Amino acid sequence: MFRNARLLFGKELLGAFRDRRTLFLTVLFPLIFYPLVLSVMSQFGEAERTRLDTLVPTVLVVDRSGDETFARELVRTDAFTFLSFEAFDEAKAASILDVPKHLRPVAMLPIGFPAEPSNRIPPRRKLEDVVTYK
């Protein structure tokens, strides 16, 4: 049984090596095509990496705590450009963030904790009031 399988395998292998198209598509084409595709993908990846490295993110921080420590530390560092303004002003926010003319800033999202806790914050709703299981 194994002798017949070996003979069949040898016949098919010999037929594959005799056929030039099969030999080209199974051996030569991958040797040429795969490195070419990988080099092109590498070039695209490098171009995207370069583009991302040149982007400068803009972060707008609103600090209304009244404490000047945060502002002083931001001014001292070279990693940030510190621009200060007291209240939300559409024109100033648009110019600082370089917002395109067809868009307009409408809100700022404060991040962090208030300097003094306030009891005006409503209590958090229970999970059972918001989520239902079926």
pTM above 0.75, yes or no: no
- Structural domain contains residue 132: no
Tell me how far apart the alpha carbons of residues 95 and 46 are, in angstroms, rounded to a whole number: 32
| Residues 64 and 95 occupy one common structural domain | yes
Tell me how far apart the alpha carbons of residues 126 and 134 are, in angstroms, rounded to a whole number: 18
* Contact between 84 and 97 (Cβ < 8 Å): no
Find how far residue 17's CA is from the centre of its chain: 47
Residue 36 lies in domain: 2-54
| Residues 77 and 88 occupy one common structural domain | yes
Question: What confidence score (pLDDT) does residue 41 get?
Answer: 95
Residue 118 has which token pair?
């306030």
| Residues 7 and 48 occupy one common structural domain | yes
| Residues 49 and 62 occupy one common structural domain | no
| Residue scoring higher pLDDT (124 or 134) | 124
Band (pLDDT 50/70/90 cuts) for residue 47 is: very high
Supply angle C-alpha 75, 81, 87, rounded to 5. Answer: 85
Q: What confidence tens digit (pLDDT) does each residue in 18-39 have?
A: 877 887 888 888 899 999 999 9
- Structural domain contains residue 119: no
- Structural domain contains residue 134: no
Question: What confidence score (pLDDT) does residue 78 get?
Answer: 67
| Residues 38 and 50 occupy one common structural domain | yes
The one-character DSSP state at 1 is -
Domain stop point among 14, 39, 54: 54
The lowest-confidence range among 38-47, 62-71, 122-131 is 62-71
Number of domains in the chain: 2
